[in-house]
Amino acid sequence: MRQSTYETGASEREKALLVSLVTDKVKKSGSDPQHSVEELASLSDTAGVEVIDTIMQNLDVPDKKTFVGKGKAQEIRALAEQTGATTAIFDQELSGAQVRNLEEALDMKIIDRTQLILDIFAGRAKTREGILQVELAQLSYLLPRLSGHGKNLSRLGGGIGTRGPGETKLETDRRHIRDRITELKRQLETVTAHRNLHRERRRKAGAVQVALVGYTNAGKSTLLRQLTEADVLVEDKLFATLDPTSRNLILPSGKEIILTDTVGFIQNLPHDLVAAFRATLEEAGEADLLLHVVDTSSPMRVRQQKVVEEVLQELGAGGKPTLLVYNKIDLGSEEALSMLTGGADTIRVNAFVEQDLLKLREAIEDRILGDVAHFRIPASRGDLAALVYRVGEVVEQETEEDWLLLTVRLNPADMEKTGHALETYRVAE
């Protein structure tokens, strides 16, 4: 397995300066640069890097050559010399040429946000699918930037941004990398086909599938663990989960469903990177219901919620039935709580409170099983009774002289398709 810096001990922590360039484009993107750079600091921490300082600059457009302005570059260099920082981590994406020029100008290793995230992924990937996906993402990212990396890698050696395929493949030519990308895609297809088969089998068996989605660190794995007693990793770190885990969940009525945990989302993640994790996220695309978990206490909550909605849209899961789960309400300020939207498709929980978990199970059940309806059917009509059993789950059955009284949790889709004949026998509440 690839080693991550955070597993090699605190004494060897790489020292880094964070750099964020606030351009017009950044301002328009809707992401708050200050929050974004704070997130970059958490990402750096997760990757095992010690953040020494943060430098921000306002510039309408990035400098073509050095990204930041000339004067700023000098300032960063001086600060690095003073503090012993050897790496500069940029919050925005850099071109190959910019990396090369920055290496020259700053005499430091240059990493950007995407590379940092990929580095964390490389350290986290455990399953074959995860490892393949990360390598594919790293190579796809590396290929167009190849010429920009030769120097810093040969000079500065290991550490963040150099784990994984970068180390071994750099000396080889682009063609070699392209071949490897093709091969990785082929292998991934095989793994994905296997997963699809598995999922298809579950679907055939009639299993209802619910997926936990949301921003990284929102509490998805915590909820999976609390609801199903699954033994999954929960950490106050970004991207604790990379591979999807599925567990059976028993709803209050006794019905069993499958609950799946997925990789967290994050802002400013390049599109091709999202594509690389498509297979993993397909779990979300195939689910009957999504639980969109939100960290209520995060100062970036609104933005995070929006990022998740956008990524879901990209994955073609935008219109799916979704229950918005406002998690960590115990940490949310009075003000934050008052700003949450209410309504039937939202629920507020503290993942560690049993009462809230019960509420959540009930809310899932309501959405999956549909509403309860009552039917009064002539006892002689066995055909209608059979139909009732097909379109829902009979919770109660009584006879009243020549009538059959049935209390049913209707499956809205089945009722729509085949249940018309029952409408005349429905008892108004």
Ligand X SMILES: Nc1nc2c(ncn2[C@@H]2O[C@H](COP(=O)(O)OP(=O)(O)OP(=O)(O)O)[C@@H](O)[C@H]2O)c(=O)[nH]1
Closest CA to 103 of 115, 90, 119: 90
Q: From residue 399, give the alpha-carbon distance in Å to each of 389, 405, 406.
A: 16, 6, 9
* C-beta of 139 vs 308, nearer to ligand X: 308
User: Do residues 163 and 4 make contact, with C-beta atoms less than 8 angstroms apart?
Assistant: yes
Phi, psi of 255 (to 5 degrees): -70, 140
Q: Are strands 14-22 and 49-58 parallel, antiparallel or unpaired?
A: parallel
To ligand X, the closest distance from the beta carbon of 352 in angstroms equals: 6
Residue 264 marked as a ligand binder: yes
User: Out of Mg ion, ligand X, none, which partner does residue 351 contact, by CB within 5 to 8 A per kind?
Assistant: ligand X
* Rounded-to-integer distance, Cα 146 and Cα 181, Å: 14
Residue 153 marked as a ligand binder: no
Q: What number of other Cβ atoms are within 10 A of residue 397's Cβ?
A: 13
* C-beta of 36 vs 217, nearer to ligand X: 217
User: Out of ligand X, Mg ion, none, which partner does residue 66 contact, by CB within 5 to 8 A per kind?
Assistant: none
* C-beta of 98 vs 262, nearer to ligand X: 262
To ligand X, the closest distance from the beta carbon of 81 in angstroms equals: 35
The 3-class SS string of 108-135 reads CEEEEHHHHHHHHHHHHCCCHHHHHHHH
User: Out of ligand X, Mg ion, none, which partner does residue 113 contact, by CB within 5 to 8 A per kind?
Assistant: none
Residue 325 marked as a ligand binder: no
User: Out of ligand X, Mg ion, none, which partner does residue 62 contact, by CB within 5 to 8 A per kind?
Assistant: none
User: Do residues 15 and 89 make contact, with C-beta atoms less than 8 angstroms apart?
Assistant: no
Phi-psi region for residue 425, left (φ > 0), alpha (ψ -120 to 50) or beta? alpha
Structure tokens at 132: 């393949």
Residue 276 marked as a ligand binder: no
* Rounded-to-integer distance, Cα 120 and Cα 47, Å: 6
Residue 379 marked as a ligand binder: no
User: Do residues 67 and 102 make contact, with C-beta atoms less than 8 angstroms apart?
Assistant: yes
Residue 219 marked as a ligand binder: yes
* Rounded-to-integer distance, Cα 137 and Cα 116, Å: 12
Closest CA to 261 of 290, 301, 302: 290
Residue 366 marked as a ligand binder: no
To ligand X, the closest distance from the beta carbon of 418 in angstroms equals: 39
Residue 112 marked as a ligand binder: no
* C-beta of 4 vs 86, nearer to ligand X: 4
Residue 330 marked as a ligand binder: yes
To ligand X, the closest distance from the beta carbon of 65 in angstroms equals: 36
**For the chain, what is the radius of gyration of the CA atoms?**
26
User: Do residues 71 and 22 make contact, with C-beta atoms less than 8 angstroms apart?
Assistant: no
* Rounded-to-integer distance, Cα 220 and Cα 241, Å: 9
To Mg ion, the closest distance from the beta carbon of 240 in angstroms equals: 4
* C-beta of 238 vs 347, nearer to ligand X: 238
To ligand X, the closest distance from the beta carbon of 289 in angstroms equals: 17
| 3-state DSSP assignment of residue 245 | strand
* C-beta of 36 vs 241, nearer to Mg ion: 241
Residue 215 marked as a ligand binder: yes
Residues found near Mg ion in the complex (CB under 5 A): 220-221, 240-241
User: Out of Mg ion, ligand X, none, which partner does residue 389 contact, by CB within 5 to 8 A per kind?
Assistant: none
Residues found near ligand X in the complex (CB under 6 A): 214, 216-222, 234-236, 238-241, 264, 327-328, 330-331, 350-352
* C-beta of 78 vs 331, nearer to ligand X: 331
Residue 83 marked as a ligand binder: no
* Rounded-to-integer distance, Cα 295 and Cα 236, Å: 12
To ligand X, the closest distance from the beta carbon of 265 in angstroms equals: 8
User: Out of ligand X, Mg ion, none, which partner does residue 217 contact, by CB within 5 to 8 A per kind?
Assistant: ligand X
To ligand X, the closest distance from the beta carbon of 376 in angstroms equals: 44
User: Out of ligand X, Mg ion, none, which partner does residue 350 contact, by CB within 5 to 8 A per kind?
Assistant: ligand X
* Rounded-to-integer distance, Cα 187 and Cα 127, Å: 13
* C-beta of 219 vs 419, nearer to ligand X: 219
Point out the annotated binding site.
214-221, 239-243, 261-264, 327-330
Point out the annotated binding site for GTP.
214-221, 239-243, 261-264, 327-330
Point out the annotated binding site for Mg(2+).
221, 241
